[in-house]
Structure 1
Amino acid sequence: MFVRLNERVYLNMAKITRTKIDHVEDGIRVRFYEGQDQVAKSRRFDSVEEAAKWFEELIKDIK
């Protein structure tokens, strides 16, 4: 199933093996992985709670 990550990127969630909410140099982002390779990352968030809420909204149709 494809989900829209932003205005230019759609992810094939069937291939995503893991996700990670991570503190990076410019803020907090959700990272998407296929195996060991990072294939996409979300926009920047100010808190982990905001990132988790955004991710739950993104995948609510998949569950």
Structure 2
Amino acid sequence: MFIKLNDRVYLNMAKITRMKIDHVEDGIRVRFYEGQDQVAKSKRFETTDDASAWIEELLKQVK
């Protein structure tokens, strides 16, 4: 199933094998992986709680 990640990116959630909340130089981002390859990353978040809440909302679209 495809979900809208942002204005330009749709993800095929059937192929996503893991999602990782990662601290990067410009803030906190959620990274999406197919196997070992990163295929997308989210917008920047201020806290990991914000990122977790965003993932939960995103996953509600899959159900």
TM-score (normalised: structure 2) = 0.96
Q: Confirm or deny: 8 A CA contact 2:31 2:38 kept in the other structure.
A: yes
Moved over 2 A (4+): none
> Percent sequence identity over matched residues?
75
Alignment of 1:1-63 (within 5 A): 1-63=1-63
Q: Kindly report the root-mean-square deviation, in angstroms, between the aligned alpha carbons of the 2 structures.
A: 0.7
Q: For structure 1, which runs of at least 5 residues remain unmatched after alignment?
A: none
CA distance in 1, matches of 2:39, 2:29: 13
TM-score (normalised: structure 1) = 0.96
CA distance in 2, matches of 1:61, 1:53: 13
CA distance in 2, matches of 1:41, 1:61: 18
CA distance in 1, matches of 2:11, 2:5: 7
